[in-house]
Amino acid sequence: MRIREAHLEDASAIARVHIDAWRETYQGIIPDTYLAQLSYEKRTKLWEQTLVDQRVYVAVSGEEVVGFAQGGPNRSDAREGELYAIYVLQASQGQGLGKALFQRIAEDLAEYETMQVSVLRDNPACQFYERFGGQVFKESMIERGGVEFVQRVYRMPIQLRTR
């Protein structure tokens, strides 16, 4: 297993992980009809656009992308960083990949003291962010598949760890 910077040719693999991880994580939380309509083709196009001008990291097992993370300046407050997305397929969880991806984003955001991440309250990954010192500082309602959910925004210190 290794972490590396993503390349444009990784777009379809990132899209696959993105959708598959959503389906694994949110099954029974977000309506099945919403999860079923997620499109690998559409998501690949979005990732192709993203990879042109944003840094994304992938977790690779053998030659297969099994996770990814993306971060940058906070989209609503330029004084801090933001973890835009981090996903690891369930079969590859528990091996330190999420932690390694998180650390790469923290390294990129070292100019900031803190970073935010938005996550559904019912997402089991909330504990992951709390282990990094994340504290909920805001909650709001969002809609997915015709259902309203509580979205938490965590703020956490950027603490660089030695490898």
Per-residue model confidence as pLDDT tens digits over 116-152 = 999 999 998 899 999 999 999 999 999 988 889 999 9
Rounded to the nearest 10 degrees, how much is the dihedral formed by the CA atoms of 42, 49, 12, 21? -70
Cβ atoms 117, 82 nearer than 8 A: yes
**Residue 69 burial (10 A CB sphere; 0-12, 13-18, 19+):** buried
Cβ atoms 20, 67 nearer than 8 A: no
Long-range contacts of 121-126 (CB under 8 A, 24+ apart): 121/149, 121/150, 121/151, 121/152, 122/29, 122/149, 122/150, 123/25, 123/26, 123/29, 124/25, 125/25, 126/152, 126/154
Task: Tokens for 41, please give them.
Answer: 């083709």
pLDDT of residue 78: 85
pLDDT of residue 163: 42
pLDDT of residue 125: 87
Tell me 78's DSSP state.
T
Task: Tokens for 119, please give them.
Answer: 């996550």
Mean pLDDT over all residues of the chain?
93
**Nearest by Cα to 71 from 60, 80, 61:** 80
**Which CATH number is 2-112's, of 3.30.479.10, 3.40.630.30, 1.10.10.10, 1.10.3720.10?**
3.40.630.30
- Residue 133 to residue 102: CA distance in whole angstroms: 13
Q: Report the relative pairing of strands 64-73 and 114-120 from DSSP bridges.
A: unpaired
State which residues of the chain have pLDDT below 50.
162-163
Q: What is the pTM of this model?
A: 0.92
pLDDT of residue 32: 92
Task: Tokens for 151, please give them.
Answer: 């979205």
